[in-house]
Amino acid sequence: MSVLAHGVGQSTDLPLPLDLVLQAGAATVVVSFLGSAFLWRRARLSPVFERHPRSRWWLPPLQFGTLALSVFLVADAFFGPRDASNPAAHALYVWLWVGLIPLSIVFGPAWRALNPLRTLFRLLRLDRIRRPEPEAGSSASADTAGPVRWAAAAALLAFVWLELVAPDRADPLVVGGFLVGYAVVQLGLAVRFGEEWFGRGDAFEVYSDLAGRLSPLRWRPWLSGLAADHPGGLGRAAFLAIWWGSTIFDSASGSPAWAGFVQRTGHATWLGTAGLVAVCGLVLLGVRRPAVTNSLIPIAVGYTLAHYLTLLMVEGPRGVLLLAQQWGIAEGAAWTVGPDPQVVSVLQVTLILAGHALGVRSAHDLALTDAAPDRPPLATLADEFPVVLFMIACTWAGLFLLFVR
């Protein structure tokens, strides 16, 4: 398996027939909707209480360790071996992109605390550089307000294009060039708008923050993070559309039909770019309603974990071994452990169904939060029905792609 190969096994590895799995997916969403409708009569995710650790003595060592590791990996990308033994691609595509989700689900917005760009910004005292202050009420002030804006969505689109479309994307020089360019842009914008920029414009901080809304250690009651700063706005919808849409495109582009089409035309980069943008645009049309944006976070998390599960299980440890070998440790060793396809398939289906069930539950709660006090319950349920149909379609699409890739 190469670093860019996603998933183990084909549709024949799945232990259940496709039609039965699709029926189970639709039933999960419908039962979740009906259960929420009859048992969830009032909003329970508000008010929101975000918990913070009482002691933070352990944070500086982790921050400096993350910065040191990042500097080493970038240097190794430029000056280390230019083959599959270089761990730079594993660090970016596996540890950061995939590994950040379970880390954030457990501990909350982990990248906000560990972000090496924040650490570098503080070490270099870049906040002392004088920057022009926007006038009160100006468009510059408005454009940088809010938790998630278009800048993070644009940064995420650039990253997923690199991961899924760009030629030679596993080349360490390409990975190193992207990391340096990304760091320069983010640090420059942070000088202009202040350190708070990272929480709005750094794609990986926003990505970690949204996944961290599911952390039971961070939010009380559980899932109340989905009610924080609700509704999320169109910028957050665009970010989720790119996050989710890129994963869907990755599944679809791994199918024999897409591979044959690209081979016949001979324009892989252009077709890949057009396909990626088209899929993300279609997803944005479906998720553009700000009132339901936050309820799509569990769905995006579940599908991403399902899709990249084997990548994390196989290539994650392999990347650690490659990094150790760069330091002269365990030379000649190889990571050959692979998960059982049957077990992986069951976990993938479970993750997708669980994400949609949590999405339905949170969508219902947010609908109750937005509803007027005197609004009849049946009217609220009627407003949710199009969302339920949309989620059923998304569940079917996610499960179907597990068979055809």
Per-residue pLDDT of the chain (405 residues; tens, 9 = 90+): 344 444 333 334 455 566 666 667 677 777 776 666 666 667 777 777 888 888 789 999 999 999 999 999 999 999 999 998 999 999 999 999 999 999 999 999 999 999 999 999 999 988 887 555 555 444 443 344 444 478 999 999 999 999 999 999 999 999 999 999 999 999 999 999 999 999 999 999 999 999 999 999 999 888 889 988 877 788 899 999 999 899 889 888 877 788 888 888 888 899 999 999 999 998 888 877 766 788 889 989 998 998 888 888 889 999 999 999 988 888 888 888 878 877 888 888 889 888 888 888 888 777 777 666 666 666 666 666 777 777 777 777 777 776 655
Spans of all domains in the chain: 11-130+142-404
Give how far Cα 95 sits from Cα of 103, 240, 315, Å.
Answer: 10, 20, 9
Instruction: Give the CA radius of gyration of the chain.
Output: 22
Instruction: Specify burial of residue 37 (Cβ count, 10 A radius: 0-12, 13-18, 19+).
Output: middle
List residues bridging with 219 in a β-sheet. 50
Q: Are 110 and 95 in contact (CB under 8 A)?
A: no
d(CA 314, CA 6): 10
CA dihedral 243, 139, 122, 179 (to 10 degrees): 40
Question: In the structure encoding, which two tokens stand for residue 194, read together?
Answer: 């202040």
Entry pTM: 0.87
Q: Do 322 and 332 meet the contact criterion of CB atoms below 8 Å apart?
A: no
Q: How many CB atoms lie within 10 A of CB 4?
A: 15
Predicted local distance difference test score (pLDDT) of residue 228: 84
Instruction: Give phi and psi for 243, each to the nearest 5.
Output: -60, -55
Cβ–Cβ < 8 Å for 314, 8: yes
Distance separating alpha carbons of residues 317 and 35, to the nearest angstrom: 40
Which residue has 């997708």 as its token pair? 352
Q: CA 288, 292, 298, 302: dihedral to nearest 10 degrees?
A: -40
Residue 202 is predicted with a pLDDT of: 96
CB atoms closer than 10 angstroms to residue 220: 13
In the structure, how many helices (H) and strands (E) does the chain have?
19, 2
- Other C-beta atoms within 10 Å of 154: how many? 15
Contact status, residue 299 vs residue 29, Cβ threshold 8 Å? no
What's the burial of 264, exposed, middle or buried (CB within 10 Å: 0-12/13-18/19+)? exposed
What is the rounded distance in angstroms from the CA atom of residue 381 to the CA atom of residue 15?
A: 35
Q: Which residue has the tokens 């901080």?
A: 205
Residue 387 in contact with residue 337, Cβ under 8 Å? no
Q: At what angle do helices 203-211 and 150-164 cross, to 10 degrees?
A: 100
C-alpha 97/C-alpha 305 separation (Å) is: 11
Distance CA 165, CA 58 (A): 39
The pLDDT of residue 298: 93
Lookup result for tokens 């989710």: 244
CA trace torsion 364, 370, 375, 376 (10° rounding): 0
Q: Which two tokens stand for residue 220?
A: 């009380």
Residue for token digits 């055809």? 404
Provide the H-helix boundaries in 254-370.
256-265, 268-287, 297-307, 309-310, 316-326, 341-370
Q: Is 257 exposed, middle or buried (0-12, 13-18, 19+ CB in 10 A)?
A: exposed
Give the Cα separation of 281 and 86 in Å (integer): 34
